[in-house]
Structure 1
Amino acid sequence: MSARLAEDSSMTTTLLLAQACNNRWSNHRLLTACATLPAAALHAAQPAAFFGSLWALLAHLLDVDRFYLDALQDQPRAYRDEDWPDLATLTAAQAASDQRLIALCRTLDAEQLTQLITLPRATGPVREQRLRTLQHLFVHQLHHRGQAHALLLASGVAPPQLDEFFLTQDEPLRRAELQVLGIDEGALWGTTL
């Protein structure tokens, strides 16, 4: 492998790991804010809500994460909606899923990123590149977290900032949470902030 290709591969895996860590942090902030809502408000029908309510949207996010993670780890299975009993259970499952994504991104190499994986679909299995599937998963998460952000606001809860992860200037705003989550920015970026 050329030095340039190795450098590009290293940068790609670093960025994927950063996205996975950002996902963990964003979900932590979002679900912490959701925990301030009564269960009735989480489950309340909202006309602007994808899937009908904030609760259904949060469940969808987690269910899709788990579907793609299974496929990304070469254990494809059909998509299924889980019946999450309460926010505490969903939050714990989301944290486990987020940690699983971080662990996956920590171990990926250039060859694995170009490999094809199987995604079971209702019309039959399809093959997709692992890197493109990961990028799709990150966009899916961002897309629906943005909707959840708006639904929190509509429910009367100040939604958390979800864009304070990457810039050095925002480090003081995330420091305590990243410590709680076990995310070491120095190790992630290979630098000291």
Structure 2
Amino acid sequence: MVDPAYVRTMARYNAWQNRSLMAAADGLTDEARKLDRGAFFKSIHGTFNHILWGDETWLSRLTGSEKPAVSGRDSAIYFEGWAQFCARRRQRDQAILDWAESVEANWLRGTLIWYSGAAGREIGRPRAFVIAHFFNHQTHHRGQIHAMLTAAGAKPDDTDLFLVDEPR
């Protein structure tokens, strides 16, 4: 069930996993991060960018914050530089954590209505469903990054959700 505790847990999981994957990717060259590895968004860097773009798009719908300056079709090239990307990713992870702390059960029972560029029309869905999609989208694409990093010889941390709050 999507409740405020779920939202907070998934926000912490998101930030933890992004830190892990970025640390593993730091050990690669820029060329290795941008190498076309046959993934949907081609590279490690492109997939990282797409996740960030998606997070910012959903945050704009959920909180009214500014939406990304590029379209979904350009999401893989959102940030060219690795340092610039990492700084923005950390900022957005904090924004997600801050937002998650403010989510209330009554708000989750409402409906979110937005214009979807992917669907080409206005869509409305229960907020709890949208939140599940938001976090599922991140997890799906981070799995792709984890696989690409592992194939490139990097060593990202575990991805098991039950470890999110475990001391390291």
DSSP-derived class of the 1:126 partner: strand
Structure 2: unaligned runs, 5 residues or longer: none
Partner of 1:61: 51
Match of 1:95 among 64, 85, 90: 90
Number of the residue aligned with 2:30: 39
State how far apart, in whole Å, the 2-side matches of 1:107 and 1:155 are.
Answer: 39
**In structure 2, what is the equivalent of residue 145 of structure 1?**
142
Structure with the greater relative contact order (CA < 8 A, sep ≥ 6): 1 or 2?
2
One-letter amino acid matched to 2:5: T
TM-score of the two chains, using structure 1 as the length reference: 0.75
Rg (Cα) greater in structure: 1
CA distance in 1, matches of 2:157, 2:163: 17
**Contact 1:74/1:117 (<8 A) preserved:** no
Alignment counterpart, residue 162 of structure 2, candidates 150, 161, 166: 166
Percent identity over the alignment is 28
Aligned residues of 1:58 and 1:148 also touching (Cα < 8 A): yes
In structure 1, give the amino acid aligned to 2:63: Q
Partner SS for 1:50: coil
Taking the aligned partners of 2:48 and 2:29, their CA distance within structure 1 comes to: 15
Q: TM-score, normalised by structure 2?
A: 0.86
Count of residue correspondences: 161
- The correspondence for 1:106, drawn from 94, 101, 104, is 101
Q: Is the 8 A contact 1:43 1:54 kept in 2?
A: yes
Measured after TM superposition, the shift of residue 30 of structure 1 is: 0.6
- Asked whether the equivalents of residues 21 and 102 of structure 1 are also in contact (C-alpha less than 8 Å), the reply is yes
Cα separation, partners in 2 of 1:75 and 1:157, compared to 1, 3 Å = closer
